[in-house]
Amino acid sequence: MINNKFDDNTIIEKVENNFNYSCKSIQKNQMIKKSIYSKIYSGILDNNELVCIKTINRQFLTLIEYNMFYNEIQINQMLKSYNHDNIINYKGYSCSKNYIDLIFELGNNTLDDLIMNNPLEIQNNFKKYIIEILTGLKFLHDKNIIHGDIKGDNILIINNKIKICDFGISIINNNNNNKLLNHIGTHPYIAPEVIKDLTISCKSDMWAFGALLYKIINNGYDIQFTIKNENNIKKLINYCGEWNDLLEKCLKINPDERISSEKALEYVRLKYEANI
Ligand SMILES: Nc1ncnc2c1ncn2[C@@H]1O[C@H](COP(=O)(O)OP(=O)(O)OP(=O)(O)O)[C@@H](O)[C@H]1O
Ligand SMILES: [Mg+2]
């Protein structure tokens, strides 16, 4: 029998605690996205607050998937107490017989939406966005959280501010010796060490950040993830102008040689100040 961590009675109690008021109804409106495990809706709470609802149909989940969502809730719960500017604001969850609903503040666009549909907006806010992504990442890494799936789809822009979201496959860093059970993440954002032997660390997020930076600079074109040697990577990023240097530091095959979020943030801030 499945170990049901989402026992209905416990959850109702937790919803009230999480929302800081007694939320009696959550109304789902428009569906925004549909993925393998979840559906994302815009919606409204009974205090008229507009929210995003990530709904998971619990009927067809395997135990592993079940635990993944439990993990997602726990990480969001932990992050909620810090209320960081560049992390999506999680409000709580609700659970019924068939569904688990995770409630978040509602975003308008993902970074990928902007890269594809509004490149001018990206151009105008480029350094601000890069600094805010790195600020969010540094915060997560300082708290020992590996995001595990950094990409433009998991970065929202709300009121012109970057908000990292989707902690679905995030894990707590365990002395830099974390082994995944199976492949997770998204090509080409999965770091070489994850592909090679499923070892993941905060540095794996920095590879993903490098791949994202490459995509932003190259008008939506992804780096080729089959590229396994550093010389080829160097040749590719040679065309990335003033951001070559940071890209090279992020896209190191060896994670020990890869730049940390702290150093990358320092690097960008210095570069930014020097340009003003
Ligand atoms: N708070 C939000 N406000 C608005 N849109 C959101 C919000 N959270 C997520 N979305 C949209 O829904 C998509 C999927 O959300 P999320 O990444 O959390 O789900 P997922 O099941 O992990 O999906 P995937 O497997 O595609 O990563 C996001 O890429 C984004 O477009
Ligand atoms: Mg996602």
Mean pLDDT confidence for 236-244: 80
How does DSSP classify residue 242?
Answer: G
Cα–Cα separations (whole angstroms), residue 215 to 114, 126, 137, 148:
12, 12, 18, 18
Instruction: Note every long-range contact of 226-231, with CB atoms under 8 Å and residues 24 or more positions apart, other chains counting.
Output: 228/192, 228/253, 229/253
pLDDT beyond 60 at 3: no
Q: How remote is the CA of residue 223 from the centroid of ligand 2, in Å? A: 19
Whether 77 contacts 19, CB under 8 Å: no
Q: Please, are residues 45 and 29 in contact by the beta-carbon 8 Å criterion? A: no
Q: Is 106 in the pocket of ligand 1 (CB under 6 A)?
A: yes
pTM: 0.91
Tell how far the Cα of 185 is from the centroid of ligand 2, in angstroms. 9
Q: How many angstroms is it from 131 CA to the middle of ligand 1?
A: 22
Q: Which domains does the chain have, with CATH numbers?
A: 8-105 (3.30.200.20), 109-275 (1.10.510.10)
Nearest CA to ligand 1 atom 9: 40
- Residue 128 is classified by DSSP as H
Supply the residue whose CA is at minimum distance from atom 17 of ligand 1.
Answer: 166
The dihedral of CA 100, 105, 107, 112: what is its sign?
Answer: negative
Q: Report the alpha-carbon distance of residue 140 to residue 262 in Å, rounded.
A: 11
pLDDT at residue number 241: 80
Confidence tier at 114 by pLDDT (50, 70, 90)? very high
| Nearest residue (CA) to ligand 1, atom 5 | 107
Give pLDDT tens digits for 196-213: 888 899 999 999 999 999
Report the chain's mean pLDDT, rounded to a whole number.
86
> Would you place residue 272 in the very low, low, confident or very high pLDDT band (cuts 50, 70, 90)?
confident
**Ligand 1 touching residue 156 (CB < 6 A):** yes
- Inform me whether the pLDDT recorded for 141 exceeds 80: yes
Q: Give the Å distance between the CA of 211 and the centre of ligand 1.
A: 19
Ligand 1 proximity of 40 Cβ (cutoff 6 Å) = yes
Q: Examine the pLDDT at 115 and tell me if it is beyond 60.
A: yes
Taking the centre of ligand 2 as the mean of its atom positions, its distance from the CA of residue 204, in whole angstroms, is 17
Gap from CA of 186 to ligand 2 centroid (Å):
9
Tens of pLDDT, residue by residue over 149-182, are 999 999 999 999 999 999 998 998 877 678 876 7
pLDDT single digits (tens) 6-64 = 554 444 444 444 555 566 678 899 999 998 889 999 999 888 899 999 999 888 888 88
Report the distance separating Cα 147 and Cα 158, nearest Å: 19
Nearest Cα residue to atom 26 of ligand 1: 35
Chain centre to alpha carbon of residue 124: 23
Pocket test for ligand 1, best of 28, 32, 49 (most atoms within 8 A of CB): 32
